[in-house]
Structure 1
Amino acid sequence: MLDAAVEGFARYGYRSASMDDIAEAAGVSKPLVYQYLKSKDDLFTACIRRESAALVAAVRAGTEDADGLLPADRRLWNGLCAFFAHTAAHPHGWAVVHQQARTEGESFAREAAAVRAEIAELVTGLLGVAARDAGCADDALAEREVSGLAHALVGAAESLADWANAPRQEPPSARETAATLMNFCWAGMENLLKGSRWTPAP
């Protein structure tokens, strides 16, 4: 039922998706849908939460380092590959979480913001490790800028996922998309964490 609902919401949008069509696609009766989920809002929320949890789980699995041997850039690379692989494999889920949920009301937007915050927190932790490994001495600076960098990176990853999932003859692979983002951001972040900072001309 949730599979059919995610596809319906992704294809037609929250407002246009029909509970009748979702029930038919799921092979169940409409009363049965309402037996488990009391309203269209409840169904949409359940879809957002399921797809959000799956995305976060994929990224967490990608960044795992059980032995504590991987450097921060490798863990970030693995996490980005996992993120882009998941969004490519589940385009309807990504559309529900990233596109539909954010525009269809405050309660849905909060659900989308929660998953973004969770991933940003994970990335902040990785960049914090990189800052410590680089010997960043200014803890206050590191904490403030690392958090900002993490949010910027997550926003860039979201935008790239939309780009990578756009219809085209030869979509980029998850590794290609992850490499694009690493090449864009890591060299600059690495220099910053080592104390080499860009400043505007006077």
Structure 2
Amino acid sequence: MADRTADVLDATQRCLLRYGVRRTTMDDIAAETGVSRSAVYQYVRGKDDAVRRLTERLHGAALEHARAAANADAPLAERVHGILAAKVELTSGPFAESPHAAELLDEQARLNGDICRRFTGDLHGILTATLTGAHLRDPADTAHILLATTIGLLAARRTDLVPRAATAVLHGMHSKHLEGEQL
């Protein structure tokens, strides 16, 4: 028997975006997957497990993109933009169109908020590591400011401003004695 976990999680995502966490049922997930309800239980323990595993998959993929951006052979500002783009990616595509997307991405969500908070913490760590050695006054504070700015722009639905805002933060936090250094 082929492992259809990815299919079940894909179906879960479509159902959640359509109906939301509370209204989605295991029957919905099974119908969307094209298998019986009992077949779905071969891959997930229940709806809560499916939601958590989907959340982990989405945030894991975004972290992979952030790590790749951090390790790119590019100027600092470009690497920071790439790291922040990982946060933006979570809210784009089908998530931008669904009123239920926040249930998968909200750090305050009962079911999966811990995964979302851990993602933000991991992203902060990646940003801090990337900024360390860039002669900033405080790389950890700069990372907090960059994340807060990005989250604010996401809430305002102004993701187009993330790169410009990040560049402004970096220039503002850059040590004065290294003004000539290339970001």
Question: What is the TM-score when the length of structure 2 is the normalising length?
Answer: 0.75
Does structure 2 retain, via aligned residues, the 8 Å contact 1:56–1:119?
yes
State the AA in 1 paired with 2:16.
F
Select which of 41, 62, 78 maps to 2:48. Answer: 41
Overall identity of the aligned pairs, in %: 25
Q: Residues 9-28 of structure 1 correspond to what in structure 2 (within 5 A)? A: 9-28=16-35
Q: Matched residues in 2 for 1:41 and 1:52: separation?
A: 16
Select which of 136, 150, 161 maps to 2:154. Answer: 161
Does structure 2 retain, via aligned residues, the 8 Å contact 1:58–1:86?
no
1:49-80 residue CA offsets vs partner (Å, 9 max, x unmatched): 11111111122223332x5xx32112112333
Q: CA deviation at 1:21?
A: 0.9
Indicate the residue corresponding to 1:102 in structure 2: 108
Does structure 2 retain, via aligned residues, the 8 Å contact 1:6–1:96?
no
Deviates more, 1:78-87 or 1:121-130: 78-87
State the AA in 2 paired with 1:149.
T
> Structure 2 stretches of 5 or more lacking a match?
1-7, 178-183
1:76 aligns with 2:75: no
Indicate the residue corresponding to 2:11 in structure 1: 4
Please tell me the root mean square deviation across aligned C-alpha atoms, in Å: 2.8
Select which of 22, 27, 31 maps to 2:38. Answer: 31
Question: What is the TM-score when the length of structure 1 is the normalising length?
Answer: 0.69
Does structure 1 retain, via aligned residues, the 8 Å contact 2:56–2:115?
yes
1:112 aligns with 2:116: yes
State the AA in 1 paired with 2:117.
A
Structure showing the higher helix proportion among its residues? 1
1:75-133 residue CA offsets vs partner (Å, 9 max, x unmatched): 1123334553564235279645423x63224xx221111111111111112222322xx
Indicate the residue corresponding to 1:52 in structure 2: 59
- Equivalent pairs counted in the alignment come to 167
Q: Matched residues in 2 for 1:127 and 1:90: separation?
A: 32
State the AA in 2 paired with 1:190.
H
Q: Matched residues in 2 for 1:187 and 1:75: separation?
A: 15
Indicate the residue corresponding to 2:139 in structure 1: 146
Runs in 1 of length 4+ with deviation above 6 angstroms? none
Select which of 167, 176, 180 maps to 1:186. Answer: 167
